[in-house]
Structure 1
Amino acid sequence: MSLSPATPSYSQLVASDEWRQEATEWIEDTVDRLGYRVRGPVTQPRIRPWSTQLVVPTDHGTLWFKAPCAPMRFEPALQQLLARLLPGLVAAPVAVDVVRGWMLTADHGRLLADDDAAAGDDLRDLIGVAARAQRELVAHREELLATGLPDCSPSTIPERFDQLLDALASLPPQLPSHLEAAEADRFRSRRSELVDACAAMEESQFPVTFQHGDLHLKNAYRSSETIRLFDFGDAQWAAAVEVLAVPHAIASQGQDGPSWSELVAEYLGAWDLDHTAFGIAWNASHFTHSVNRAFTWWRSLQSATEEEWQQWGDAPLAHLREMMRP
């Protein structure tokens, strides 16, 4: 696990005229095969170190083109599989190119985050939907991993932890997330606790399954009154309860909305497990999710520019430091 900056960087690549022409040609050919017609200019509203989107106006409504960076190129194939396994919870892409990691999807309309009045109820409902999806996907490990979904199950974490420490220590000192030797030693002093947490997670009544990775109201919408999930670039095969890390952060902000205990009750209701089992797994996730989330951020920045590292590069170490909390 090492940082080998790409030349050009991902964001420079997807901002180039050559790449835009190639992507636009694929979009136009694909839309034509579907019997649609492009009705207006294809625009590029956002470029990030990990993905870019193009907006495609057509005579059948707006389509969205997404191209993830290389480490997250599994997303189109993953969404295609999830739509087959969870047809009520994930919409099938309009078209995919699994080799290049390109995907066209229909416009979702309003997101759950767009409805302030229903935000509390929507977050509870979203927790229940995510839990039901996880239960359905427990038996589909091999299919999911075959898409390129990262295997971040508890047994893989100690080695990944060691690799992350080495990788962050190798960053140039001027970059965020550079790990100083003294802090690296403090991390290593907690390694045995991490190993114990991984063992506890493996013995937990909660299984290892699909983990969305970034579960919040901007990554879900309603279709025919059913909540559907999207944006799977941060997804992993991991301990089930790690999906609650982002909702926990939201509930901890103290704003109007459901309490953490209400979200946990919703999650446990979908699993039919008790608070004791949850407590064991949740305490273990304090260690496991810290490593897995740091790993996601590390992957997302592999072809970032130095300026992008300055903007987003504190995330890998910041998430890893979560395991150091008392």
Structure 2
Amino acid sequence: MGAAFSDTVTSAAWHAETTAWITDALARRGVQVVAPPEQPRVRPWSTQLVVATDAGRCWFKATCRSASFEPALQALLAEVAPDAADAPVAVDPDRGWMLTADRGATLRDLREPGTADWCAVMTRFGRLQQTLVGHGDALLATGLPDCSPGTVPGRLEAVLDLLRHFPAGHPARPDGRTLARLHAARDAVASAAAALAESPLPSTLQHGDLHPGNVFEVDGAPRVFDLGDAQWAHPLEVLEVSSAVARHGGTDWAPVERAYRGTWDAWCAERGLPPVGTDDGAPSWDGLRHAAGVTHAVNRSWAWCGALAEATEAEWADWGEAPGRHLAKVLDLVPERQA
């Protein structure tokens, strides 16, 4: 097993290498670094450097292996939808490195996000999801994980296999009863995945952590960043994290979800399809939301496993309960008799 990600990115050799890359990337644009980069944060999955230049501040980001698709994904989004995502200053996809211009405060830092802010974020992202439907091959070619509904049952098996092989007492290992209930819920997970696969809404970009802290405004419109948790998945999975963050902050979520749903109703209407959840025999909107909650729990647990794959023992102690905690959300959504 190689060195832990956080050990690598705090080493003198890594700092020398990244500083040289940053300096060269900026010099090719006529920009000069004026002070040694600062490292404000290190996590098991990513780190950032703040770079002072004679043209303003820049940000450098390095990711762990499981998120190394992010620089290429960010660059592709900026090409396909430049009004929704900024183009990086420079990327090294092979190393998971990205340099971006500073855009100032995030939406969350600018003000306490209200219903109008959340509606703007979610409707803008819904339209971005629709734009990207036809770009699946290109997005997946960046390394974006394919977590579309049809892949979820197999991913559940993989995550369960991983978690049960952790030793007893490890923070990531669920207790025996929880593992047994998760195994018993496999058919319910497969049914949820099938319902999503048969819905009129196609797989597309799922941000993975969409909230106002990962959005900044340009000319009054939101642009997204921090895509290291992104996946190719059913679009409604994006609502899981967003609704939890919004409600925690006291936002009335109902009008936000109506606004987001409206973007997909419009998308369906353009294609001569009935509004989501209104076709006879099709799952309701609430039914699709429930199914997306089930598949999201599996996909997010799997993402956490990847984020911690290069963690130290101390970092596992701090973060290791996350894969099991997210996977156990399946049990909150599946009737006891099915789990």
Residue equivalent to 2:337:
none
The 3-state SS of whatever aligns with 1:252 is helix
The letter of the residue matching 2:84 is L
CA distance in 2, matches of 1:104, 1:47: 16
Deviation per residue, 1:135-180 (Å, 9 max, x gap): 0001111000000000000100111101100100111223212133
Q: How does 1:129-148 map to 2 (within 5 A)?
A: 129-148=124-143
Question: Is the CA contact 2:48–2:60 (under 8 Å) kept in the aligned structure 1?
Answer: yes
Residue equivalent to 1:324:
331
Runs of 4+ off more than 6 Å: none
CA distance in 1, matches of 2:64, 2:120: 31
**Normalised TM-score (structure 1):** 0.95
Whether 2:151 is the aligned partner of 1:156: answer: yes
Supply the RMSD in Å over aligned alpha carbons.
1.3
CA distance in 2, matches of 1:118, 1:242: 21
Whether 2:73 is the aligned partner of 1:78: answer: yes
Deviation per residue, 1:98-136 (Å, 9 max, x gap): 111111000020111013354332111101111001000
CA distance in 2, matches of 1:268, 1:61: 39
CA distance in 2, matches of 1:26, 1:83: 22
**Normalised TM-score (structure 2):** 0.91
* Deviation at residue 212 of structure 1 after TM alignment: 0.5
The 3-state SS of whatever aligns with 1:214 is coil
Q: How does 1:104-143 map to 2 (within 5 A)?
A: 104-143=99-138
Whether 2:12 is the aligned partner of 1:17: answer: yes
Residue equivalent to 1:102:
97
Whether 2:289 is the aligned partner of 1:282: answer: yes
Residue equivalent to 2:312:
305
Identity over aligned pairs, percent: 44
Question: Which residue of 250, 257, 262 maps to 1:256?
Answer: 250
CA distance in 1, matches of 2:325, 2:48: 27
Residue equivalent to 1:8:
3
After superposition, the Cα gap between the structure-2 partners of 1:117 and 1:22, relative to the gap in structure 1 and judged at 3 Å, is closer
* Deviation at residue 15 of structure 1 after TM alignment: 0.4
Question: Is the CA contact 1:13–1:19 (under 8 Å) kept in the aligned structure 2?
Answer: yes
Deviation per residue, 1:65-122 (Å, 9 max, x gap): 1000011111000100010011100000000111111110000201110133543321
Question: Which residue of 51, 62, 65 maps to 2:60?
Answer: 65
CA distance in 1, matches of 2:176, 2:286: 33
CA distance in 2, matches of 1:268, 1:183: 34
Gaps of 5+ in 2: 266-274, 279-283, 334-339
Question: Is the CA contact 1:112–1:119 (under 8 Å) kept in the aligned structure 2?
Answer: no
* Deviation at residue 268 of structure 1 after TM alignment: 1.1
After superposition, the Cα gap between the structure-2 partners of 1:274 and 1:155, relative to the gap in structure 1 and judged at 3 Å, is closer
* Deviation at residue 188 of structure 1 after TM alignment: 1.0
Whether 2:289 is the aligned partner of 1:294: answer: no
Deviation per residue, 1:251-285 (Å, 9 max, x gap): 433x432x221111111111113455422210111
